[in-house]
Structures are given as C-alpha cells and as structure tokens.
Amino acid sequence: MTPLSIDIDLGSICSPLPSLRIGRAWEETFHCALDALGKKLFTARWTYLGRNFNQPLSKMRKRNDNKNVSSSAQATPQHQRKTENAPSWKPRGLFILFVILVLVPFTLIVAQRLLQHLVYTHRLKVPFFTDLSQPADFSQNHTINMYLTSEQGISLGVWHTVPASKWREAQGKGLAWYESTISDGSPVFIYLHGNTGTRGASHRVGTAKVLSALDYHAIVLEYRGFGDSSGEPTEVGLTTDALHVYNWVKERSGSSPVILWGHSLGTGVATNTAVKLLEQGIVLDGIILEAIFNMAEQKLPRHIFSWYYWKFPGMGYFFREPWAENKIDFPNEDNLRKMRSPILFLHSEDDQFIPIGIAQRLYKVAVSAQNAERVKLVTFEGSLGYLHNGLYKDPRLPDIIRKFILSV
C-alpha cells in the first residue's frame, strides 16, 4: 500500500520563518502553520498513489463525482472491488493533523522541561573521591561531621572543630560531647564560605585550624547545593541555612560569643543574616567580612550559581537556563548601613576577583553607619601573594582576630 503524504510548503505560507529554536520562535511557527492549514488544506498539493493533483480538492471531488455518475452503469465487479479496497486519505490525514496539532505542541511543552532537567540538574559532585563525612581525611583530627535540617528536604553538611586545647579529649567522642563544648565560654565562629567548592577546600580547612589554634570553636557549614548538602542554591536559601545554623549554635552556646565569618560570597550571606537577625531584635556579637564584594558596583561575568548546573556546550541556546529566575541581590552596601554589630574587614591588595577599592568604600559606608571604633579594616600587601583565598596563611592573622574578639 502506497502511503499518503501531505506536502505543505510552510516556507511560502509562513515566510519568513523564525529560526528553529525551542521557545517563542517554535510557538509562533506552529501558530502560523495551524492558521495556514485552516486556509490552505483543501488547496494543498496531494500526492497519492503516485498521482499529482494540483487542482483544489473541491474541483477534484466535482470532477470525480461526474466521472463516477457517467461510468457507474458500466462499472464492472472487478472495478468495484478495486474501489472498495482503495485506501482512504482521511484516516491518515487526520493522524497527520493529530501529530501536528497535538503531539508536537505537547512534546515542546513537556519534553522541554524534562530535557532541561536532564541536561542541567545532574551536576558533578566535587571534589571527586572524597568523603566529607570524614573530616579526619582532611587533617581535621578534632572535628566531627554532622547534618542539620534547615527546612523540610534540606540537609546541611556541617563540621564542628573544637579548640586545640581539647584535641586529646575529643578523640573518640560523639556528637553529644561536641555539642556540650559549645557552651565552654570560648568564642564560636560560624564560617560562611565562598562560591563553589566544599568545606574541605584547603583555605577553609586552614581558616578552621587558625581559629582552633586560638582556642576558638569553628562551625563550618555547607550551604544547600554545595558539597554533600541537598537542595539548590539560592540567595534566600543560603540565608535561611545560615540563620538555622546560627540559631542551632545559640541554643547551645550559653554565654559564649557567636561570631559570623563570611568569605567572598559568604560576606553577602553574613550581612543578610545580620540584617534578618536585627529585624528580630538580635544584634550579632561580631562579624568578620573577608574579601567582601558589592553587587551594586561590580558586574559579575556570569550567574553566581551557574556552576551548580551541569550543562553541555550550546544547550543554553535551546533551553532557557534554570538559573534565569534564580535572582540574586546580596545587598552588602545597604546591609552595612543597617548593621549595628562590630565589624572587621579583611582584604588582600592583590585579590584577583574583588578589587581592594570595593572593600575600602564599603568600610567607609559601615563607619558612617556606626563609628571607627566598632568597624575596622585590615589590608594585606599584594607582594605577599595571598590573592583571594590565602589570608589564612598570614602569621599576623591570629593576633588580628584575637584583638577583634577583645573588642566585641
């Protein structure tokens, strides 16, 4: 049986056609095609059983009706059988219309979301071949791993490193013992790390070690979407995670001061958290802002969380990036005008990502909102080569932190 085919020249009907790109262009193309089908269907070129009919279908039917009337009396049984057995164009035509009008639009709507999920959200876990639940593998011998639930469905990986003076006592101890030490009077630092990577990154481990050597507690959390924490990173989500960990620590800290230390992206999370707490009537004991950024002043080359999605080259052309609606603000400048906590700015002059001038200008904003006694800025010479992540290596850093703690 020779199949029926419909040859519709969409190029002439819907000219000029938009580029074949999933999205608005496809939608416009199909609307045009559907409108054309309604007007052109019965004047289209039909190819059926090897015969071409270029006349309108209504004329074809009229001619065939006249022929059938004139030849009906002479029709033989064999001819009648051939006529009865001839396949009808209607079922196949209806099927083709069903494909065009129903299946294709359905595929564009549903499959686009499915493919976007498959393309983007199956991200790679970094670092490879590491177990973040084993902090000892990162030379953190007096550290315990735990998981806190910041909200339903969101599990956060957290390390708690106790003061170095408790190193021997900490061996073999469980979570209950670590929690009990938070109220020992030593300052507790909640470290809010920067973008990408995990709590096992060398500069984050190095910062925790500096704090522990000062006999302070270091709580290093992994935001949602980072490391082995679940969920997708958003500005609201990261702030919610930091608030949850802060409240968890405060429930156990007693009279121990609780300090937020934000690095890079973490400075935005830290100032957001400070303002949220201030709205509840809570003033942070202190906050350290290392390598602070200013979204109002520095344009980012890409979305902060674009690393989270595993994408193939060119897929952004066909699928709208899922982070397009993941709006970020991190209004550090506005937050600093509202904050009432002691603040310590730390910045390297050779920071390759955030110019030192941004930190200097934000420092002035904070001083104008409070005073020079409660707000400090410490810069590090570019010749030291600390760049964006290396301040923990500076031998002066312990004294700088100790002096800041005495002022809170």
Is-contact 179 253, C-beta < 8 A? no
Cα–Cα distance, 62 to 41 (Å, whole number):
17
Beta strands 217-221 and 154-161, pairing class: antiparallel
Give the Cα separation of 166 and 207 in Å (integer): 18
Which of 183, 126, 156, 162 has the alpha carbon at shortest distance from 239?
A: 156
Quickly count helices (H) and strands (E) in the chain: 16, 11
Choosing from 264, 341, 348, 394, the catalytic residue is 264
Residue 165 bears catalytic tag: no
Active site residue 388: yes
The closest alpha carbon to 219, from 194, 236, 238, 242, belongs to 242
Q: Could you tell me the CA-to-CA distances from 119 to 191, 239, 311, 312 in Å, in that order? A: 32, 27, 6, 7
For 262: left if phi > 0, alpha if psi spans -120 to 50, otherwise beta; the answer is beta
Catalytically annotated residue among 193, 217, 347, 388: 388
Residue 9 annotated in active site: no
Torsion of CA 293, 296, 298, 302, to 10 degrees: 100
Catalytic positions are 264, 351, 388
